[in-house]
Amino acid sequence: MFETIFDTRWAVERHRHGPLAAERAGYLRYCAFHSATGHSLRLKARSILWVAARMSLEDFGRVNGERLREIVCGSTGPAVAPTTAATLISSARTWLTFLGWWHEPREPLPFDDDLERFVKWMRDERELTPCTVEQWHYRAAKFLSWCADAGLNLAPLQPQDIDSYFATYGVQHWSRVSARHMANFLRVFLRYASGIGASRPGLADSIQGSRRYAPRIFTLCAGLGGCPALDR
């Protein structure tokens, strides 16, 4: 599998002989089958290799959120940039879920009904791939949790509330690329919410690009370049 993702022999050998190679290859094969792009596969491969190299034998078969954060943020070596840590955790969580190794008690989420309806729409009406459904579910949950913490509901959301999300939460957690992906996702999510009467019409069209928030955001590529196990 790795030889179809990477062009250099050095990269292929690193991934092929790294820890949990079969488990990583199986997950990447699944993502490729469900139309993941080459860029996405390379990013996933680098991220889960980085995490796998820092897992202990006790982690094999059972990892929770606290332990995953410890693996990523408490590892030895240079400090991991916040945006890189978020990418590593997100990629590893999806991989561990695929393996059946993710064991995290599910806490009730704000707007749980809205979130479940959105998942059903993605899966049954849009027929999106499982990888996309998982990723968009995660992004929607983060956004809705932020709304709840800010004392906001979907129905009265204003454009300035969306700007606040990017300007407060976003600059602390996203790279420039991640912010652009989030803007694209929120347009889809808010158009869906407007279509079912859960948010005001036209809110999605008010979302601007991420450039205005970029000065305080680390670039994801720079962060990943600082990780020795993430080859190019």
For the segment 23-35, what is each residue's pLDDT rounded down to a tens digit?
Answer: 999 999 888 887 7
Query: What is the model's pLDDT at position 24?
Result: 92
Whether 43 shows a pLDDT value over 50: the answer reads yes
Q: Is 197 helix (H, G, I), strand (E, B) or coil?
A: coil
Q: Tokens for 90, please give them.
A: 């997100």
Tokens 């450039």 appear where? Answer: 211
**Residue 227 domain-assigned?**
no
**Which of 64, 80, 105 is where one domain is finished?**
105
Rg of the chain (C-alpha set): 18
Paired tokens of 43: 């990013």
Amino acid at 213: Y
Domain coverage including residue 90: 2-105
Tell me, yes or no, whether 15 and 85 share the same domain. yes
Residues in Cβ contact with 102 at an 8 Å cutoff, skipping those fewer than 6 apart: 63, 64, 93, 96
Question: 69 and 29 in one domain?
Answer: yes
Task: Measure the CA angle with vertex 12, ends 101 and 22; round to 5°.
Answer: 25
Block residue for tokens 């030895």: 76
First to last CA, the chain: 16
Query: Would you place residue 75 in the very low, low, confident or very high pLDDT band (cuts 50, 70, 90)?
Result: low
Q: Is 174 part of a structural domain of the chain?
A: yes
CB 30 within 8 A of CB 71: no
Same domain, 95 and 122: no
The verdict on 121 and 93 lying in the same domain is no
Does residue 227 have a pLDDT over 80? no
Instruction: Please say if the pLDDT value at position 160 is more than 90.
Output: no
pLDDT at 174 > cutoff 80:
no
Give yes or no: residues 46 and 126 share one domain.
Answer: no
Segment (H or E) for 94: helix 82-99
Mean pLDDT of all residues in the chain? Answer: 79
| C-alpha–C-alpha distance, residues 50 and 91, integer Å | 10
The verdict on 124 and 198 lying in the same domain is: yes
| Same domain, yes or no: 206 and 143 | yes
Cβ burial of 229 (10 Å; 0-12, 13-18, 19+) is: middle
pLDDT in tens, 105-155: 655 655 777 788 888 888 888 888 777 787 888 888 888 888 887 777 788
Same domain, 90 and 144: no
| Least confident segment among 130-134, 208-212, 214-218 | 214-218
Domain count, the chain: 2
In whole angstroms, what is the distance from residue 91 CA to residue 42 CA?
A: 11
Predicted pLDDT at 149: 76
Decide if pLDDT at 224 tops 80.
no
Query: Is residue 2 predicted with pLDDT exceeding 50?
Result: yes
Token pair listed for 41: 């596969």
Q: Do 77 and 127 share a domain, yes or no?
A: no
Closest CA to 132 of 145, 123, 120: 123
Q: Is 114 exposed, middle or buried (0-12, 13-18, 19+ CB in 10 A)?
A: buried
The strand pairing partners of 102, in sequence order, are 63
pLDDT of residue 17: 92
